A = this chain, B = another copy of it.
């Protein structure tokens, strides 16, 4: 139905698609490297030379794909955000809306797994140039709004059914969950070498939702 009705073309669709696939695959490799480096050392300490070296291409080639270091990092942030949104989709399909607390715990667990896998970018400091780039990046802002809205709904639902502290403003809960995604405690405990990743996540999850007190 597609090819049969098309006139001959100078650039056959299949070839163009192949090129696009190659292009996307290359960009995906770049974004993966950026993502890893952002998680490992943060935006300021990450250099474009390192990215190029890790991908195995020249630095000038990087700039054919992304116009600046900020755009490079923003692309990685957007991808993580979209991974999160996809996970929220899965959760909505596989779990009950009657257990909003369970969903929130599942999200927190997922973010910690991502961090222990070395794939959670450390958040840029207040006045980083990356911050400014992110606030003007529609994909990022839209993604963040979407995630916040969906988590916000679960938070208020969990507060309504009494499984979450009703005294806390929903925004405080939301920010706490975001912060736990980058919680350095995971790295500290990992560095101690005393616990498995699962043990670490379980401990941090308990302290997050049940607190330190006995």
Contacts and interface: CB of A to CB of B under 8 A. Distances in A.
Interface stretch (A3-11, A15-23, A176-184): A176-184
A172 B185 contact: yes
B42 A203 contact: no
A32 to B, nearest CB: 19
Given A176-B185, A183-B179, A207-B176, A128 B45 contact: yes
B125 A168 contact: no
Interface in A143-187: 158-159, 162-169, 171-173, 175-176, 178-179, 182-185, 187
Given A171-B194, A179-B185, A42 B125 contact: yes
The copy count of this chain in the complex is: 2
Interface string A116-142: 000000110111100000000000000
A93 interface: no
Contact of A209 (B163, B179, B204, B211): B211
Given A163-B214, A179-B183, A185-B176, A40 B127 contact: yes
Query: Closest 5 interchain pairs by CB?
Result: A211-B211, A44-B44, A175-B188, A210-B211, A179-B185
Interface of A: 40-42, 44-45, 101, 104, 122-123, 125-128, 158-159, 162-169, 171-173, 175-176, 178-179, 182-185, 187-189, 192, 194-195, 203-204, 206-214
